[in-house]
Amino acid sequence: MAESGSSAGGGETLLFLTDDQLRKGIEAMFFAYRGFTADPDRILEDKGYGRAHHRAIHFINRSPGTTVNNLLSILGVTKQSLNRVLRTLIDDGLVRSDVGTRDKRERHLYLTETGEVLERELSNAQRKRMRAAFRQAGPEAVVGFRQVLEAMMDSDMRRHYAKLTETG
Amino acid sequence: MAESGSSAGGGETLLFLTDDQLRKGIEAMFFAYRGFTADPDRILEDKGYGRAHHRAIHFINRSPGTTVNNLLSILGVTKQSLNRVLRTLIDDGLVRSDVGTRDKRERHLYLTETGEVLERELSNAQRKRMRAAFRQAGPEAVVGFRQVLEAMMDSDMRRHYAKLTETG
DNA sequence: ATTTTATGTCAGCCTTGTTGACATTCCAAG
DNA sequence: CTTGGAATGTCAACAAGGCTGACATAAAAT
Q: ipTM score of the complex?
A: 0.90
Please tell me the predicted confidence (pLDDT) of residue A11: 52
- The CA–C1' separation of A101 and C8, in angstroms, is 59
Is the model's pLDDT at A111 over the cut of 90?
A: yes
- List the single residue in B127, B141, B152 with the smallest CB-CB distance to A148: B141
Nearest nucleotide by C1' position to the B77 CA atom = D18
- List the single residue in A19, A142, A165 with the smallest CB-CB distance to B127: A19
The per-residue pLDDT for range B18-54, each reduced to its tens digit, is 999 999 999 999 999 999 999 999 999 989 999 999 9
- The end-to-end CA distance of chain A, in Å, is 42
Alpha-carbon dihedral sign for residues B147, B151, B155, B157:
negative
Average model confidence (pLDDT) for chain B? Answer: 90
Nearest nucleotide by C1' position to the B90 CA atom = C8
Is the model's pLDDT at A7 over the cut of 50?
A: no
Is the model's pLDDT at A9 over the cut of 60?
A: no
Is the model's pLDDT at A2 over the cut of 80?
A: no
Q: How far is it, in rounded angstroms, from Cα B46 to Cα B125?
A: 14
Give residues with Cβ within 8 angstroms of A130, minimum separation 6: A36, B22, B25, B26, B152
Whole-number percent of chain B with pLDDT over 90 = 79
Please tell me the predicted confidence (pLDDT) of residue B168: 52
CA-based nearest distance A13→chain B, Å? 11
DSSP label at B112? -
CA-based nearest distance A92→chain B, Å? 26
CATH of B19-137, one of 1.10.10.10, 1.10.1040.10, 2.70.240.10, 3.30.70.20: 1.10.10.10
Q: How far is CA A124 from CA A23, A67, A129, A132, in A?
A: 31, 25, 9, 12
Pick the residue with more confidence: A6 or A86?
A86
Q: How far is CA A16 from CA A9, A22, A131, B28, B39, in A?
A: 17, 8, 26, 22, 22
- CB contacts, 8 Å: B73 with chain A: none
Pick the residue with more confidence: B65 or A101?
B65
- Residue B14: name the closest of B25, B23, B5 by CA: B5
Please tell me the predicted confidence (pLDDT) of residue B105: 83
In degrees rounded to 5, what are phi and psi of residue B165?
-85, -20
The per-residue pLDDT for range A15-50, each reduced to its tens digit, is 999 999 999 999 999 999 999 999 999 999 989 999
Could A140 and B139 be called an inter-chain contact, meaning their C-beta atoms sit closer than 8 Å? no
Average pLDDT of the segment spanning A51-67: 94
Pick the residue with more confidence: B6 or A79?
A79
- CB contacts, 8 Å: A34 with chain B: 76, 153-154, 157
Average model confidence (pLDDT) for chain A? Answer: 90
Instruction: Considering only residues 90-129 of chain B, list those whose CB is below 7 Å from strand C.
Output: 97, 103, 105-107
Is the model's pLDDT at B10 over the cut of 80?
A: no
Is the model's pLDDT at A148 over the cut of 60?
A: yes
Centre a 10 Å sphere on the Cβ of residue A51 and count the other Cβ atoms it contains.
12
Q: How far is it, in rounded angstroms, from Cα A86 to Cα A74?
A: 15
Class of domain A17-137: mainly alpha
- The end-to-end CA distance of chain B, in Å, is 42
Is the model's pLDDT at A149 over the cut of 60?
A: yes
Average pLDDT of the segment spanning B78-102: 92
Is the model's pLDDT at B97 over the cut of 70?
A: yes
Average pLDDT of the segment spanning B140-156: 97
* Burial class of residue B68 (count of CB atoms within 10 Å of its CB; 0-12, 13-18, 19+): middle
- The CA–C1' separation of B164 and C15, in angstroms, is 31
Beta-bridged to residue A95, according to DSSP, are: A111
Chain centroid, CA A84 distance in Å: 20
Is the model's pLDDT at B9 over the cut of 70?
A: no
Is the model's pLDDT at A5 over the cut of 50?
A: no
Please tell me the predicted confidence (pLDDT) of residue B165: 82
- Secondary structure (H, E, C), A78-117: CHHHHHHHHHHHHHCCCEEEEECCCCCCCEEEEECHHHHH
Please tell me the predicted confidence (pLDDT) of residue B147: 98
- Residue B59: name the closest of B82, B30, B41 by CA: B82
DSSP secondary structure of A38-53: HHHHHHHHHTT--HHH
